[in-house]
Amino acid sequence: MKSFIYFLTDKNRSIIHIDQSSDLVKTVNVIHEAKDLFFELIAQPNRLVYFEEYSNDALMHERQKQLKRFTKTQKEKLIRSVNPDWIDLSTGLRHEKVLQTKMFSTKVPLSFSRN
C-alpha cells in the first residue's frame, strides 16, 4: 500500500506544514474544502508543494521524522529542488486521478471481423 509524505504551504509561504497520508488526493481535497477547520485563518496551508511516495511505512515514518527536524531553509531548498516555482501540485494530482479512473473504467469494444 502506498503512503505519502507531503508539504503544504500558504499563499505567502510563511509556514510549511509536513504530514502523511495514504490517499494524497483525498487528503488534499479535504483540506481545500474545509480550509478553516485545520488551521488559523491567517495562515492557511492549502497548497501542495512537495510530496514523496513510499511503499514501506517504516521508511516513511523515519523520513517524516527527519523532515520534521529540517529548518525552514532546508525545507525550502528541498521544495525548490523539484518545484522551483512553488506551484500547487494538487491540480495535477487530481487530473492524474481522473485520467486513471477513466482509463481503468472505460471499456472499448473490440471487433475482430474481417472485411
Which top CATH class is 3-94? alpha beta
Distance between CA atoms of residues 9 and 87, nearest Å: 10
Report pLDDT digits (tens) over 6-33. Answer: 999 988 899 999 999 999 988 888 887 7
Domain boundaries, the chain: 3-94
Report the predicted TM-score, pTM, of the whole model to 2 decimal places: 0.77
State yes or no: pLDDT of 103 exceeds 50. Answer: no
Q: Which three cell numbers stand for residue 16?
A: 510549511
Q: pLDDT band for position 86 (50/70/90)?
A: very high
Q: Which of 21-25, 36-40, 104-108 has the lowest mean pLDDT?
A: 104-108
Mean of the per-residue pLDDT values of the chain: 81
